[in-house]
Copies of this chain bind each other. A is one copy, B any other.
Amino acid sequence: MGSSAGGTNGTGDTEGGQDVRERHVTGSLAHRVPDLGALELLLAVARLGSLGGAARELGITQPAASSRVRSMERQLGVALVDRSPRGSRLTDAGALVTDWARRIVEAAEAFDAGAQALRDRRDSRLRVAASMTIAEYLLPGWLVALRSQLPDTAVSLLAGNSTAVAERLLAGEADLGFVEGVSVPTGLDSAVIAHDRLIVVAAPGHPWTRRRRPIEAAELAATPLILREKGSGTRQVLDAALGGLARPLIELSSTTAVKAAAVSGAGPSVLSELAVGEELSTRRLVSVPVADVALARDLRAVWPTGHRPTGPARRLLSLTRA
């Protein structure tokens, strides 16, 4: 590395003497991270090896691309591309930054696919109904993949609980559904597409995170927990596993609120492993081993009995089987 970071190539440094470098300013991410357009531009430069080429691909002019990359470099304080009269290549640091940028762009693509499905309610070629956990954590990725296979298929998404999903399907208002939980609503055929486990989590420092031995079912049932409201898929599985005994410390109506409460140390909680992956890997939450309790559940694709999915629905279904 180090090849270019310091500005050893005196191409253009117009900013001259100003090294005021505001440190430690908590300028709210948006001020420290380039916007999506700039990140897309960077990815295009990486792929095409030229600023002008990237500009053409994005439908802007070459000077616009040039200045935008430059201001991104100023913002980050790192040289990203080596410009030469016959093209531009990423510096080592630039390659790294580009990889990190790609994550943001991919998350944005998932967001876009999801948002688009949420908007196009009727008149879509593929109408999907999904339970919350699946709609939150899995569907956007599937939709991105689906779009790459069927770019012209408009998808609509309705999110609700299992019974709502079943109603839509049976009323002919949805082509394919996804539910989590133990049982399949009557009138529907299903295929298991993935498995999910509920796990017990607590903020770092909680006594349970220091235990040697796993929690027993009885102890879990006896401890007040931060939980989703009754009726949620997560709560149903937990209640079933404990024999209807889960004691709520607080009941909240969204997974997000539950996570926030758990992270802030309000108490232990039980959540889908899909929901807490990020929190676990960054140590904002710690998983507590449990013994003796069946917290696994299947994630299923469902459709009206007899109406085996065809067309785009079939395509989507085939994407979901990892």
Assembly stoichiometry (copies): 2
Considering the chains assembled together, what is the distance between the CA atoms of A256 and B49 in angstroms? 13
Q: Are the CB atoms of B40 and A28 closer together than 8 Å?
A: yes
Assuming A95-B254, A158-B1, is B33 touching A152 (CB within 8 A)?
A: no
Closest residue of chain B to A97, judged by CB? B115
Q: Are the CB atoms of A140 and B37 closer together than 8 Å?
A: no
Considering the chains assembled together, what is the distance between the CA atoms of A102 and B140 in angstroms? 13
| In the complex, A32 has a CB within 8 A of chain B | yes
Q: Are the CB atoms of B119 and A5 closer together than 8 Å?
A: yes
Closest residue of chain B to A21, judged by CB? B119
Q: Are the CB atoms of A115 and B76 closer together than 8 Å?
A: yes
Considering the chains assembled together, what is the distance between the CA atoms of A101 and B30 in angstroms? 13
A77 surroundings in chain B (CB, below 8 A): 115, 119
| In the complex, A96 has a CB within 8 A of chain B | yes
Q: Are the CB atoms of B121 and A96 closer together than 8 Å?
A: no
Stretch from A11-19, A227-235, A277-285, A290-298 contacting the other chain: A277-285
Name 5 interchain pairs, CB-CB below 8 A, sorted by A: A29-B112, A46-B256, A98-B256, A100-B111, A148-B284
